[in-house]
Amino acid sequence: MNLVKSMIVSLILAAVPQAEAVTVNLSPGWNLVSPVLAQAKAVDQFLTDHASGCSITKIWEYSGGWAQYVPSGINQINTIKPGQGYWFLVSGACDVTTNDTTPGYAYSFESSGWKLIGSNSQADVSIDSAGLLNPANFSSGDASGVIKIWEYSGSSGWKSWQPSGASALSAMRPGYGYWMLLSTGGISLDSSNSSLADLLPPVCPGCPPIQ
Amino acid sequence: MLKLVLLLVAFVQTQFSLCQLRPHPPVPPSPNEFTQPVLWFRSGNGFQISWQDVAGRDGFFVSVCNDERGFLPVAVNVSDTSLTLQGFDRAGDHIVQVSAFVRVGQNMVFNTGALTTIPVTPKDVSLREEPEEAQDVESEATADPNPMTPGEVTAESPSLIEELTTETKVVAVAHRQTLARQFPMLNGDRSFYSPKYPFVENPMFEQAGPNGERIPALLVDAEIDATVARIQARTQPVSEGTPSLDTNKETVVATNLEKPVVHQVTGTTGSSPNLEEKLKLAAEIQAKAEEKKPQVLTPEPTQPKVESKPEVTPEPAPMPRAPSENNTLIWIAILVLAGFLYFIFAKEAK
């Protein structure tokens, strides 16, 4: 009986998403980050809760134009939003740590051009048809609209992914920001769109599909 | 025979990938992105292009691509939102890129830019490209109001960008190699450009130069702050409106409504105008143009030694190009190639 109980508890624990700490190590200078958050947080609150050891000089947000945050000064950003990327300028090495349970990413891009984003996931998201570019994730548009993704790290510089040919970048890491270039607008991507069938092995030929 | 076929395929591929852009991501404090396409219309023996003004810019950078050299600058610091391109050295489609930039210290930070394609006919070809060695100072004056021989200014001149302010509104495309020498490695891909360190694409961190020298991080926070403060201090707000076409001066107006041959990158601040809006805009411009009688084209007071024609011969107004015209041409080329291959293989099979 106890064995059954413990098995049930294990199954429940496995099914319920667990909050995992995500830590991004910032180097002195510019860092491209995207904190993993369940919901938007006021910048000051975010810095107190998740980056208390950081000496932030400036934060930049990009949405077609730039908005900045300077501690005890300018605040054009107001909140740190899940799935949004940011340039953090820090004067010394430090960590940004979050511990939220997140639903993953959900983007809606009306226009083409550059988007500064993050995966908002606690695990790596591969940039391929099994991960970020899974057709099931697209409620409008498709993967052909994504033509470039860049990652920046203070230690290794830029790495990029492109649809064809070899790419130095293959996955989006938790907590890091990414530049995504879209050739078209009207693209909506949501990680929660992936169906149960994506998690199960392919059905046998002639068998009814898994619903 | 197989070699011939492979050569043909390679040729077709080369022709369609000559002007491919590989843009680098924006860095702060780049100007806002364009949300409207670049427009063009015929103007005498050239093409007038015009584009949308954007917030946070110091000037505009215009480059042209029509061959394997890729995008080369034709005007580095345009203060207005229009420019006349003339003096072409060859016919064919020319892809024009306009980018807005802001000066950060001695460097330039660009937005992604917008593109258009202008169809240069053999009739528009008036200049042959100057040889690499012999520089004609007078012809440079056509391209630039501050003529200078290559020896006078090097890419390391701190005030080079400001010195090359293009007030003339008319540039000779055939002379773009001259400007390309003054701004080496400056092309449509760049989001950052340092005249002192033209090879540095990423200004965010300290790095080693080609000779092992130490190059500091070129995008310095204090200079970004100073730039932002300078831009904000401008009293005149920039209206981010529709690109204006001065129909009073011209006899013929035709807008380019198609998407460029290469990938068109537009801004993210708002949705791009849809086709209906573009058609409406084109119809309005066309209507305005038709109302006007052919007029005398008078040179701008600030124009340098540009040979102005006293009277412009009206040309038949070209129809706005169908959005898929260029794609159609590509498909026709592919079909012809496929037919040719089929013919060869069918013959071989027999």
Give the model's pLDDT for residue B157. Answer: 42
State pLDDT tens for residues B282-322.
445 444 443 433 332 222 333 333 333 333 333 333 333 33
Give the model's pLDDT for residue A84. Answer: 96
Distances (CA, A) of A69 to A66, B146, B199, B269: 10, 40, 31, 19
Tokens 């040979």, residue located:
B307
In the predicted model, residues of chain A with pLDDT beneath 70 are 1-19, 194-211
Give the model's pLDDT for residue B60. Answer: 95
Q: Which residues of A fall within a CB distance of 8 Å from B269?
A: 63-65, 111
Give the model's pLDDT for residue A192. Answer: 83
Q: How many structural domains are present in chain B?
A: 1
Give the model's pLDDT for residue B324. Answer: 43
* A107–chain B Cβ distance below 8 A for any pair: no
Contact by Cβ (8 Å): A121, A174: yes
Q: Which residues of A fall within a CB distance of 8 Å from B32?
A: 64-65
Q: Is residue B318 part of a domain?
A: yes
Contact by Cβ (8 Å): B224, B27: no
Number of CB atoms found within 10 A of residue B247's CB:
20
Q: Which of residues 174-203 of B touch A (CB under 8 A)?
A: 202
In the predicted model, residues of chain B with pLDDT beneath 50 are 11-12, 14-16, 130-158, 245-283, 285-325
Give the model's pLDDT for residue A170. Answer: 95
Across the interface, whether the CB atoms of A64 and B204 are under 8 A apart is answered no
* DSSP 8-state assignment for residue B220: -
* A206–chain B Cβ distance below 8 A for any pair: no
Q: Is residue B25 part of a domain?
A: yes
Distance from CA of A199 to the nearest CA of B (A): 34
* B55–chain A Cβ distance below 8 A for any pair: yes
Q: Is residue B341 part of a domain?
A: no
State pLDDT tens for residues B236-273.
555 565 565 443 332 222 233 333 333 333 333 333 33
Across the interface, whether the CB atoms of A185 and B272 are under 8 A apart is answered yes
Give the model's pLDDT for residue B166. Answer: 55
The residues, ordered by sequence, that sit 6+ positions from B6 with a Cβ below 8 Å of its Cβ are none
Q: Is residue B344 part of a domain?
A: no
Domain boundaries, position B216: 2-335
* A105–chain B Cβ distance below 8 A for any pair: no
Contact by Cβ (8 Å): A132, A189: yes
Q: Is residue B116 part of a domain?
A: yes
Partner residue facing A66 (CB), from B29, B217, B270: B29
* B272–chain A Cβ distance below 8 A for any pair: yes
Could you tell me which residues are beta bridge partners of residue A28?
A: none
* A161–chain B Cβ distance below 8 A for any pair: no
Q: Is residue B174 part of a domain?
A: yes
Q: Is residue B346 part of a domain?
A: no
What would the two tokens of residue A43 be? 């910048």
Q: Is residue B306 part of a domain?
A: yes
